[in-house]
């Protein structure tokens, strides 16, 4: 691919960090595509979206934004604040509209294991405290990464990035970027954190080009070839 390709900016979701994109980055690099994995603050939807937008806005040239899980709502917000964002790729993600939250968007779909596996913790927030969430360690493999080896899930379970509870319940305050930007969506059909049916409905709502992959919620780790292929399709269409 040429040097005129967009930069791919990868945004992780709750309970993960930028290293979750490592295998995807390797494959993008092999195709001559530059990628940057952003550290998502996981403190609130508008806060996180504005942060990602500030990173994107400081990059030269066009950008393809990729969001996994809660990272999907974040890029939906961020792309409205970054004029150089040209396309959106959602990976095993929530797909939300203005006035809707991540958790609100999956109401009415079958329950998933994540719902009964969350643990609350307190964290300091200004003069008071607020609540953040992690996945119970013994439940983490089945909820997040059932198709990955035990040594991986054991480490991932104790290195989770907690998400502020308010981030998952905060409504989107802007018109979603997918209304004006082309979108792609990867549905993880063995996902126990976001039900596959809700992902399919989100892809349809967004008018996204969708593919289905037999993978867990950690599909970027377990099926990096398919995730990278979808991102490359967005890069080609944008570049």
DSSP letters along 155-174, please? Answer: HHHTS---EEHHHHHPPB-S
Strand order in the sheet with 128-135: 118-125, 128-135, 163-164
Beta strands 118-125 and 128-135 are antiparallel
Determine how many CB atoms are found less than 10 A away from the CB of residue 83. 12
CB 144 within 8 A of CB 15: yes
Asked if 99 and 175 count as a contact pair (C-beta separation under 8 A), the reply is: no
Please give the structure tokens belonging to residue 171: 């409504």
Q: Are 37 and 18 in contact (CB under 8 A)?
A: yes
What's the pLDDT at 2? 47
Tell how strand 35-38 and strand 163-164 pair up: unpaired
Taking every pair of C-alpha atoms in the chain, what is the biggest distance, in angstroms?
Answer: 51
Distance, in Å, from the CA atom of 83 to the CA atom of 89, rounded to the nearest integer, reads 16
Q: Which residue has the tokens 């399919």?
A: 200
| Distance from C-alpha of 24 to C-alpha of 4, rounded to nearest angstrom | 20
- pLDDT given at position 3: 54
Per-residue pLDDT 10s for the chain (239 aa) are 445 789 999 999 999 999 999 999 999 999 999 999 999 999 999 999 999 999 999 999 999 999 999 999 999 999 999 999 999 999 999 999 999 999 999 999 999 999 999 999 999 988 899 999 999 999 999 999 999 999 999 999 999 999 999 999 999 999 999 999 999 999 999 999 999 999 999 999 999 999 999 999 999 999 999 999 999 999 999 98
Concatenate the DSSP letters of all residues of 85-142 into one string.
EEEEEEES-----BT--TTGGGTTSPP-GGGG-EEEEEEEETTEEEEEEEE-TTTHHH
Question: In this structure, what DSSP letter does residue 11 have?
Answer: E
Phi, psi of 135 (to 5 degrees): -90, 135
Q: Can you state the angle between helices 22-30 and 224-238, rounded to 10 degrees?
A: 50
Q: What is the DSSP letter of 6?
A: P
At residue 4, the pLDDT reads: 77
In the beta sheet, which residues pair with residue 61? none
- What is the spatial distance between Cα 83 and Cα 161, in angstroms, rounded to a whole number? 29
β-bridge partners, 187: 212
Cβ atoms within 10 Å of 69's Cβ, excluding its own: 31
pLDDT of res. 5: 87
Q: Which domains does the chain have, with CATH numbers?
A: 7-238 (3.40.50.1820)
């Amino acid at each position: 691919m040429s040097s005129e390709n967009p930069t791919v900016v990868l945004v992780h979701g709750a309970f993960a960090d930028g290293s979750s994109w490592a295998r995807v980055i390797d494959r993008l690099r092999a195709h001559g595509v530059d990628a940057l994995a952003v550290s998502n603050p996981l403190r609130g939807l508008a806060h996180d979206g504005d942060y990602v937008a500030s990173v994107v806005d400081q990059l030269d040239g066009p950008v393809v934004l990729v969001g996994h899980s809660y990272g999907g709502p974040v890029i939906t917000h961020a792309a409205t604040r970054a004029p150089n964002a040209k396309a959106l790729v959602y990976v095993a993600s929530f797909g939300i509209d203005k006035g809707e939250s991540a958790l609100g968007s999956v109401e009415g779909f079958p329950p998933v294991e994540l719902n009964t596996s969350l643990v609350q913790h307190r964290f300091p927030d200004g003069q008071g405290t607020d609540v953040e969430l992690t996945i119970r360690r013994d439940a983490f493999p089945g909820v997040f990464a059932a198709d990955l080896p035990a040594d991986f899930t054991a480490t991932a379970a104790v290195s989770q990035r907690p998400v502020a509870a308010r981030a998952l319940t905060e409504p989107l305050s802007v018109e979603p970027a997918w209304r004006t930007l082309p979108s792609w969506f990867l549905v993880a059909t063995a996902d126990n954190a976001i039900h596959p049916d809700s992902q399919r409905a989100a892809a349809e709502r967004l008018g996204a080009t969708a593919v289905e992959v037999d993978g867990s919620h950690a599909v970027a780790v377990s099926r990096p070839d398919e995730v990278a292929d979808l991102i490359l399709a967005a890069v080609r269409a944008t570049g």
